[in-house]
Amino acid sequence: MKRIYNFSAGPSTLPVEVLEKAQKEMLDYNNSGMSVMEMSHRSSFYDDIHKEAKKDLIELMGLSDDYELLFLQGGGSTQFAMIPMNLLDKEDVASYLITGSWADKAYKEAKKFAKPEILASSKEDTYTYIPEIKEEEMDVNSKFLYLCVNNTIYGTRIAPEKIDKLTKPLVADISSNILSEKYDYNKFDLVFAGAQKNLGPAGVTIVALKKGLIKEAREDIPTMLSYKTHADKDSLYNTPPCYSIYITGLVAKWIKKMGGVEGIEAINKEKAKLLYDFIDNSKIFKNNIKVEDRSLMNVVFVTGNDELDAKFVKGAKEKGLENLKGHRTVGGMRASIYNAMPIEGVKALIDYMKDFERENR
């Protein structure tokens, strides 16, 4: 069996022991005589999987009893519509911090259903930093401040200490750094994350929101896009993406085994420090992100020469270090080092970068 180090930004690498467990249980889950894929979503076997995954995620996120956690479909892109449809009336204002193209997409989608405003944007600097968050500049009637906490494409994140200082109701996309370091998720009205970056396979989106915000939806909302529909039925209104939830549950158990978010955070910080330190001291690799805004999950770097970048990515692939090409809109390289990327993968990458530097100075 071949295994590579997969630096993909998402879908992305999963813990090997999770895959091994799924492999073992593929034809017979827990002596049920069935694959999890074959189980009725109304069966007691599946019900246990569903409840356990939910319980573990709530525990890992440290959510209080004020929160409901949902398993939905449609990815973050569907949340861009569900958030204004469920939390805003047509004339309501909400404030968006534009830290990348995903935040921008969320803002544009919200314009279909309400009156969002842009609080600040770093677009003119290709999103290389997080704009200062001046809550006092929000429209006085603004219902919430929307944030994309980690920006996969640009390699930035809003640090926990910046969020701790905020006082307004917050709604956030945490797809690419959920459970990677300690955030106080109880500070948010709503957070959501597509599983396919740091939690599991594509096809399930985690939404955690304050129970008080779950109410009868606006009449123009499809039943399936109302949070209440799903909250009332514990995410079993219709058939959920059972297998994706099962794998997400296995990943949650793995995080707990690694010492929870605290344990994972320590490893993630070590991984990121190794890589950023190497880049900052390198003669050919550069990272242009403002230091305090650097993502722990997505480390972007360039040589400044497109041909050399391409050579780097090609050579890396030959060494089993894959998916290091930067997003097509920004070029260069990107190493996504999510929770499941072992430190050995980061060290192997740095070793290759050293060799490459020596040969290409």
**Is 197 designated active site?**
yes
Chain centroid to Cα 57, Å, comes to 14
- Give whichever of 43 and 128 is closer to a second copy, judged by the CB atom: 43
Active site residue 254: no
Catalytic residue among 54, 143, 197, 271: 197
**Helices 242-257 and 16-24, interaxial angle, to 10°?**
130
Q: How far is the CB of 135 from a second copy (least distance, A)?
A: 28
The minimum distance between CB 78 and a second copy, in angstroms, equals 5
CB neighbours (10 Å) of residue 358?
10
CA 308 to CA 183: how far, in whole Å? 38
Q: Which residue's CB is nearer to a second copy, number 53 or number 138?
A: 53
Binding site for a second copy (CB under 8 A): 1-4, 6, 8-14, 16, 19-20, 22-23, 26-28, 31-35, 37-41, 43, 73-78, 80-82, 85, 109, 112, 194, 196, 200-204, 219-220, 222-225, 237-244, 247, 320, 322-323
Is 156 assigned to a binding site? no
Residue 146 near residue 126, CB atoms below 8 Å: no
| φ, ψ of residue 337 in degrees (nearest 5) | -120, 65
- Give me the least distance between CB of 320 and a second copy, in Å please: 7
Question: Distance between CA 324 and CA 334 in Å, rounded?
Answer: 5
Residue 158 to residues 136, 166, 252, Cα–Cα distance (Å): 18, 12, 23
Nearer to a second copy, 122 or 295 (CB): 295
Would the annotation count 336 as a binding residue?
A: no
Q: Which is nearer to a second copy, 143 or 197 (CB)?
A: 197
Q: Does the annotation place 238 within a ligand binding site?
A: yes
Does the annotation place 23 within a ligand binding site? no
The shares of helix, strand and coil residues in the chain, as percent rounded to the nearest 5, are 40, 15, 40
Residue 173 a catalytic site member: yes
What are 156's strand-pairing partners? 151, 294
Tell me which of 56, 92, 173, 189 is the catalytic residue.
173
- Feature table: binding site for L-glutamate: 42
Catalytic residue set: 102, 173, 197
